[in-house]
């Protein structure tokens, strides 16, 4: 595998009981606009949902960029804390992937 491949952070989670989905999505948009989209190597962030299970699918140019973003996220700012306040953190399951091939 080449380290020139894009990298994806894939994390599944559930929202806290009673969480407002519209408010959660506003918090996510604010987090993306004010922080995530400004990180080195950022390409995109997709939010997926299936019933009660949500997935964040964030793509970065390289695994190094992804790991740098993840390291910086260990000290969340107020916008990130607002986003996290909607999530049942015990339900989070994250994985890192390299994009081997992309069909569009």
Q: How many domains does the chain have?
A: 1
Measure the CA–CA gap between 24 and 15, rounded to whole angstroms.
9
Listing DSSP states for 10-24 in one string gives EEEEEEPTT--HHHH
Q: What is the pTM of this model?
A: 0.90
Residue 2 is assigned to a structural domain of this protein: no
The CATH number that applies at residue 69 is 3.30.70.100
Q: Which tens digits make up the pLDDT trace of 13-46?
A: 999 999 999 999 999 999 999 999 999 999 999 9
Residue 21 is assigned to a structural domain of this protein: yes
Residue 103 is assigned to a structural domain of this protein: no
| Residues linked to residue 57 through DSSP beta bridges, in sequence order | 10, 46
**3-class state of residue 76 by DSSP:** coil
Residue 26 is assigned to a structural domain of this protein: yes
- Boundaries of domain holding 64: 7-98
Q: Which tens digits make up the pLDDT trace of 5-14?
A: 999 999 999 9
Residue 104 is assigned to a structural domain of this protein: no
């Amino acid at each position: 595998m080449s380290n020139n491949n894009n990298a994806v952070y894939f994390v599944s989670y559930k929202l806290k009981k009673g969480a407002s989905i519209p408010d959660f999505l506003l918090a996510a948009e604010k987090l993306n606009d004010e922080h995530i989209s400004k990180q080195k190597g950022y390409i995109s962030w997709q939010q997926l949902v299936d019933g009660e299970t949500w997935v964040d699918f964030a793509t970065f140019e390289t695994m190094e960029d992804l790991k740098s973003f993840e390291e910086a996220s260990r000290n969340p700012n107020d916008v990130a804390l607002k986003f996290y306040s909607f999530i049942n953190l015990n339900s989070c399951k994250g994985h890192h992937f390299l994009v081997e091939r992309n069909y569009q």
